[in-house]
Structure 1
């Protein structure tokens, strides 16, 4: 029976252990359990408190000691953590197979809430011989004998099959449930013979889940952990010295009230069982209570941070209550006045509405239908866009690609300069006779060579871009920097600045040299003109001869220098991967990406290939300005610089490749375009589970109106579980599936007694002297009784 007053709803998970042995197991475990007596109950109690266990059971091998059970039960009233102690036995049961029989240990927990000493029936019903279990099938009770014992006891039960290894393991352990063989084990699963399967070693959890998924038994295979403790002072260890299994042990948490009925509800729903206490969203925007005044009485209805379902007859005022709670936002004036009059006539008023910013969305009765109509006329894309992650910024990838392209462009320019240098060479006829040499003749050479500043300028640009990129990265990931990072970044920035300043100085020097050279050329030309006017014909001829020799030599030297600077360029660099950003929502994955997956050599070659004719090439050893003009598709006649045209068009083509894109992946397919045209109610509720759209409460009035019963059963209930994992839910429903099969965390029932309203609430498993929530659902929801009977028949086995 209940040990302590029980709250109406689950505020926090219940930590459990239903597999602890006492001295009553001495017939099997001998001296190992000698200290597990009623006199030493404080040892076990203190250990349970130390481990913050909320529900426990002592389950001995085919034996039950009422005094030990009662001693631990008596500790609950002064406990900080322990709230419930259930009576139980670990029965050894022999199950027949096609060829032989197999023994399974069945932890059986009893509901003794009907009477304080109801558990005394357990020890009386177990047959003994010489103070040991009187087995009828070797060292076990036959299946028939086991059920005769259960019927004799006459209490409702929960059964948990004990197993030390995972299902499907090649090394099954004696008396494990899966040692019965695959045929019988699958039969156990098919008929839900056991409410759950127990394991201790936490490493088995992965294998258990893998087996459940591979055999499509996620709902039927419900696993919980049990310590199997035999030495109380070492709890939760099995014996006096910790084993590897002890070190890996993790208690199970159940989302239920600490009652037998709560346990029965939890172990029949896999979503209520975890080895970590994380059942609710953890959102801070939740309502703890609904504060009302009913008649002359102020009442507070506790709310779960999970799913709260409001039920009651049509026109009882459920929608009016939700609208009032939301301060009638979005409700027409006529409807609002009518609902206010009704609530006032019933003596009901809301004392506190939902705080500003707490409500994410409220879908009234007509809202969902209107939403779907709106989606189908073009609003779907806007709704879907709420769920995408932050778009990828293409700038860093463009910068990287342009840096590689500019190297190619520089190689092209050098080829063009070389071809120009070759074209500047011309035929020079050497005269048969040397011209008369005149005294004081002068020869002027204007072929002054100045260094090229382009490489320095390109390096300055690259260094500057690298510094900006590093600076942005240091700021963007500032919170991730660790000790020494800021100092190193400062050193890098200083080094980059010094490099840039040195090369800027070189550029400035080259520019100055060019200015001086130009002035020199002007002066030489001026002096040459003057000289030509005063020298004799012989002197002029000799000067021209010598000048031509000098010029042709300079041109040849220039061509040789340009040839040495040629570069046979190919794109050869490390690809830069573009990692998409994704946001998983239910069975969908919302993806932001760019038009390409990486900046690669092949990509750049392909982009350049698309800018020139089919049979054209841009060879960095032979290209000239004219050949580049000829190669570029539709070259504009008014453009003189083909390299500028090529660069501009390459940027445009690259921008097109780096355009941000969106995808919605479902089962490997991109369904973004499909869903952008509109989607159904199932998808609507899938999207509502997305944490990315913000915090806040989701309220919905009769979600079942737009969905088939089949869809509710197969997908929508799970979507609502996902929503509850992200936010608090308050819904109105008339559908039993949305209450019992969804396993709502709180039921709020509104009824009428005469001219006044009556409000009752609590978790599905909650009951008190005035009402039982499951009875309320059975009596007031069409189809509720059948749904509850299908759900709860599992533990009503005594009858």
Structure 2
């Protein structure tokens, strides 16, 4: 009850009715009497409610308030009870007068005024004396508030969501769009109350859409009428209330501060990380007297006079980590002179990081170097796996090489035929003359072998999937993979059979050829010169015929070539961190025919192109850049150089985007500072204490207000923060959870 800082947020309910509302709610509230308060207190305690208010319709029961307030003890969940009234206020609209229920919470500082509060509300026969039908006019409402004379927090009762076409009686929405927007955007009310969970989503969406996420505040309340049905309205409406949490002290002033700052309102207890790597207090000795300084689990700001030793105290807290020996000796002597001894020590394992003034300056000057680059590296996604992309490009390279090979082979065969000569035919030989042709054509098994090798690679990859992706593969996935692998295995085995058949045929052909050639050599020994001449002519004729047939066959494979395939988009990996996006991508964002043509152009000399109908090996060698002197096959050089070009365009690239602009390579000192704090908000970095000395240095006031303030708030959601600042705007706008003033007078 004597808290000075917020260690735990408050769970609140500021809209509960009692029997005092019977003039409007009838029998539903008859049990809401002082005698039955234990029922309400037990329900509040069961739901861990810390701050509550009885807000009856247009009246205030001081005795009920006083009795409920007596239950607010440290040993209970209920720490604070505030006085309140739910006023019916009529607003003028184009459709006439529209009553709106306005929950009004009063400052409880003056108990004498509270005892007379109800006297300021016009009554007649123990019922409110309205001046505008069943409500007070807007002017009368403010007359009542002025006559009471207490500070207030006004909450508009909102049943429907903003913009809803369904109007509800006594709802803030019922006044029409124009007046409702006036309520919202002129801050007529500090906060809007809702009950249904789905309204939270619509409320936030509405606020974001209108650019007023910071100005529009929404809280939940039960509107409970029957205490034994709490937190439902009554036994017929036992809703699961999404309770609101406020980051504030259990006081009216704390409530008032919280509802004017959207960042202090949540429907989940997630203001602080709950990390065990935090400090409850800092212990100092001032001239020998022990001083214990309590800390919030959120943001703790150290302020004070110049040259009082704030930085020295923070450096001492971390045992002068990162401070050179000379500076450490000087700061230690200064603290001794000031009569200050820092008892608390924060070990490295409890710290996220410590940024003293010097380290901050160095960090901001070179965020993409050294330690700072390591910080950046933690946020980048894993590099893109380019192997499948290389394989896809490799298929196109093979098609290119196949087309080049066909043309080169055709030109070679054409040249060989053009240069072929036949011996003179001579006289007709007797029929007994023999001619031996020892060459037997056979099928090429290399295309089949390349297919088999690729299928084996696929099989091995599929076999490893189970081990690599056990955590995500389902039984159905594994079964499907096994079936696919079996089918691929069948294809492989079928083509292995074809290769075996070709190789067997080759062995037989080679054996026959050997026998024929041997017989030919033997025959030559006993044949006449004329017979030898005729045999040579027949052999040359057969070889030329075979060459011409081969040429025709090769010619069918020659033709224009171009890359034609469906583009393969290279999707970047993105890790959003605050207003930045850390991106892992490649040099190219797509592999398509145009990219492949560009790669081919890069490996050719300037002003050289390839005609796939007439290309030969000599011309290809002349067209290629930097052709190796020891290379035997220009087509293999094309393959290797194309592989290198593909590797270049698939080179891993890192990018940091802000509003779609890449800022990774061009980082200004001031922007570096903003980025640095944006990175620290990432909860994945850990939950240790973040200590920082004058974080506002190097940053403009505009950037502090628009960027850095929000970064620090989110940093504090994941970890405890201890900072030193000399900037009043930074301190006020940040809305720190704990301010520690250190002055030369000795007060801490």
TM-score by length of 2: 0.87
Write out per-residue CA displacement over residues 539-591 of structure 1, whole angstroms, 9 at most, x where no aligned residue: 33553455455445544554565567779876555544322222333322222
SS at match of 2:665: helix
Partners of 2:169 and 2:68 lie apart in 1 by 30
1:243-642, aligned counterparts within 5 Å?
Answer: 246=239, 249-281=241-273, 283=275, 285-294=277-286, 298=290, 300-344=292-336, 347-373=339-365, 387-414=379-406, 416-417=408-409, 435-439=428-432, 441-470=433-462, 474-483=466-475, 514=506, 521=513, 524-544=516-536, 546-548=538-540, 550-555=542-547, 558-559=550-551, 562=554, 571=563, 573=565, 575-611=567-603, 616-617=609-610, 619=612, 625=617, 628-629=620-621, 632=624, 639-642=631-634
State the partner residue of 1:747: 739
Partners of 1:296 and 1:481 lie apart in 2 by 65
- Residues 414 and 731 of structure 1: CA distance in aligned 2, closer, same or farther (over 3 Å): same
SS at match of 2:59: coil
Tell me by how many angstroms 1:214 deviates: 3.4
SS at match of 2:159: coil
Partners of 2:280 and 2:493 lie apart in 1 by 64
SS at match of 1:224: strand
Q: Is the aligned partner of 1:33 residue 2:25?
A: no
State the partner residue of 1:51: 47
Q: Which of residues 204, 213, 225 in structure 2 aligns to 1:209?
A: 204
State the partner residue of 2:705: 713
CA contact (8 A) 1:102 1:175 kept: yes
Tell me by how many angstroms 1:488 deviates: 6.4
Partners of 1:638 and 1:530 lie apart in 2 by 42
Q: Which of residues 127, 136, 155 in structure 1 aligns to 2:131?
A: 136
Q: Is the aligned partner of 1:758 residue 2:747?
A: yes
CA contact (8 A) 1:437 1:542 kept: no
Partners of 1:30 and 1:108 lie apart in 2 by 22
SS at match of 2:452: helix
State the partner residue of 1:771: none
Partners of 1:375 and 1:188 lie apart in 2 by 46
CA contact (8 A) 1:751 1:758 kept: yes
Partners of 1:287 and 1:451 lie apart in 2 by 81
- Residues 382 and 431 of structure 1: CA distance in aligned 2, closer, same or farther (over 3 Å): same
CA contact (8 A) 1:308 1:746 kept: yes
Runs (5+) with no aligned partner, structure 2: none
State the partner residue of 1:235: 230
Tell me by how many angstroms 1:217 deviates: 2.1
Tell me by how many angstroms 1:157 deviates: 2.0
Partners of 1:83 and 1:594 lie apart in 2 by 58
Partners of 1:292 and 1:483 lie apart in 2 by 61
Partners of 1:450 and 1:231 lie apart in 2 by 97
SS at match of 2:690: strand
State the partner residue of 1:123: 118
Partners of 2:450 and 2:599 lie apart in 1 by 22
Tell me by how many angstroms 1:292 deviates: 3.6
- Residues 334 and 413 of structure 1: CA distance in aligned 2, closer, same or farther (over 3 Å): closer
Runs (5+) with no aligned partner, structure 1: 760-799
Partners of 2:65 and 2:470 lie apart in 1 by 59
Write out per-residue CA displacement over residues 229-265 of structure 1, whole angstroms, 9 at most, x where no aligned residue: 333343333343349xx46x52222122333222222
Partners of 1:745 and 1:476 lie apart in 2 by 47
For this pair of structures, how many residues does the alignment match? 746
SS at match of 1:35: coil
Tell me by how many angstroms 1:47 deviates: 3.5
- Residues 347 and 611 of structure 1: CA distance in aligned 2, closer, same or farther (over 3 Å): closer
CA contact (8 A) 2:669 2:698 kept: no
Query: Considering only aligned residues, what root-mean-square deviation do their CA atoms show, in Å?
Result: 3.9
Partners of 2:201 and 2:74 lie apart in 1 by 38
